[in-house]
Structure 1
Amino acid sequence: MNFRRRGTEEPEINLIPFIDVLLVVLIFLMLSTTYSKYAELQVRLPLANAEAQRERPREVVVSIAADGRYAIDRQALEGRSVELLVQALLSATKGVQEPIVVISADASTPHQAVITAMDAARRAGLQQLTFATQRSASGR
């Protein structure tokens, strides 16, 4: 008979896979973070205490209000025609190499107002065009 006690081994937890998963989640969160911009027109943005917007010299922001009014780089335009937008875009991008047009439209802006801004950018010869968006308040 063997009355000797067998030594019980302590279970060991391997932390390396746990750390790998945490790093992947951290990288995913860093890459999926978005930043919002604020414009001169009222476009139903939430209030927040944020740092001042950094100047981006290559960007020309075209803001479109809910009623279809336009503003280019916080300068309100008096009309809504394509020709007026083309002239304003050309004067705003004078001397800027490869400007980026950012269309920031209210959620309830008529579709035609956004298409007019896109057409004006095309007629002005501006090829880089993007849209400003933001997440909903619920985050989904």
Structure 2
Amino acid sequence: MAFLRKKRETPRVDLTSMVDVVFLLLIFFMISTTFVESPGIDVKLPESSSQASKTEVREVKVYLSRNGDISLGQEKVTQEQLESRLRAYGPAARGMTFVLLADRDARHGQVVRLMDMAKVHGFGKLAIATEYVKSP
């Protein structure tokens, strides 16, 4: 009587699940490294490593001090005076830049109010000024 011998199969390692795990880890690390951590609203004229170009000539500079004083250019104004001055620009405001130079210790609500004022009065661009600091 002849016994049938089973052919021995060489053991194989199925790599499908390992490849899936590696791709998931790769995707996880790619996504998690692109998140930018923002420290919240700390407006002490933030630093920037790039310098903005000065091609925009027509701009309105509004300063906000830490105690809430508002200045339009070099002149100190109240919020109502600022609003009437911004209204006076009319349709020309669409081609101008509203530059907000707020102290880093200024109240967030006041900064948002000034930004909203610029939007309401039709300014085409809004820029928040930062200090340029060279990277080491």
TM-score by length of 2: 0.51
In 1, the alpha carbon distance for the partners of 2:95 and 2:63 equals 20
Q: Corresponding residue for 1:71?
A: 71
Q: 1 or 2, which has the higher strand percentage?
A: 2
Q: Find the aligned partners of 1:97 and 1:125 in 2 and give their Cα distance.
A: 5
TM-score, normalisation: structure 1: 0.50
CA RMSD of aligned residues (A): 2.9
Deviation at 1:84, TM superposition (A): 3.5
Q: Measure how far apart 1:114 and its partner are.
A: 0.6
Structure-2 separation of matches of 1:74 and 1:33: 26
Match of 1:58 in 2: 58
Q: Structure 1 residues 58, 70: CA separation in 2 closer, same or farther (over 3 Å shift)?
A: same
How many residues are paired up?
Answer: 86
**Aligned partner of residue 51 in structure 2, secondary structure:** coil
Q: Is the 8 A contact 1:100 1:128 kept in 2?
A: yes
In 1, Cα distance between equivalents of 2:113 and 2:94: 23
Aligned to 1:44: none
The 2-side partners of 1:97 and 1:121 are apart by 10
Question: What amino acid is the match of 1:34?
Answer: Q
SS in 2 for 1:76: strand
The answer to whether 1:116 aligns with 2:113 is yes
What is the match of residue 85 of structure 2?
Answer: 88
CA contact (8 A) 1:70 1:76 kept: yes
Structure 1 residue identity aligned to 2:83: V
Per the alignment, residue 127 of structure 2 pairs with: 130
- Could you tell me whether the CA contact under 8 Å between 2:58 and 2:97 is conserved in 1? yes
In the TM superposition, residue 33 of structure 1 has moved relative to its aligned partner by 4.4
Greater share of helix residues, 1 or 2?
2
SS at match of 1:108: coil
Match of 2:104 in 1: 107
**Could you tell me which amino acid in structure 1 is paired with residue 129 of structure 2?**
A
Higher relative contact order (CA 8 A, sep 6+): 2
**Partner Cα separation in structure 2 for residue 59 and residue 127 of structure 1:** 10
Q: Percent identity?
A: 25
